[in-house]
Amino acid sequence: MARKSSISSSSSNNRWRYIHPSYYMQRPKRLAFLFISFVFLTFFVWDRQSLIREHEAELTKLSQDLLRLQNQLQEFKSGLAETMITTNVGKIYINPKASSFLFSSPICF
């Protein structure tokens, strides 16, 4: 039975041996590979985060520009509609010498 417990404890030790620093001190190539991998992974994650941050800032700016342009379009449409209403309804001409009013309408009856 003692043999069985030592087998199970050695298999559990095999699972956790990669966590202990002494494992990598005996294998410097693996330690260097882990360090380089960690550095590259850190740069990759940092680059992705900065790209996402810049992308969100650009989306916010574009959204604000879109709202500004939509407001300008609405103002232009309402201004154009007002000028169309005033030109299509008709104009009242006042003769300053006489006290009569002349009414002209583009719609003929």
DSSP string, the chain: -HHHHHHHHHHHHHHHTTTSHHHHHS-HHHHHHHHHHHHHHHHHHHHHHHHHHHHHHHHHHHHHHHHHHHHHHHHHHHHHHHHHHHHHH-EEEE-SSSS-EEEE-SS--
For 85-102, what is the mean pLDDT? 54
Q: What is the mean pLDDT of the chain?
A: 77
Q: Which pTM was predicted? A: 0.46
In a domain, 94, yes or no: no
In a domain, 54, yes or no: yes
In a domain, 73, yes or no: yes
In a domain, 15, yes or no: yes
Q: Structural domain tally of the chain?
A: 1
In a domain, 101, yes or no: no
Q: How confident is the model at residue 43 (pLDDT cuts 50, 70, 90)?
A: very high
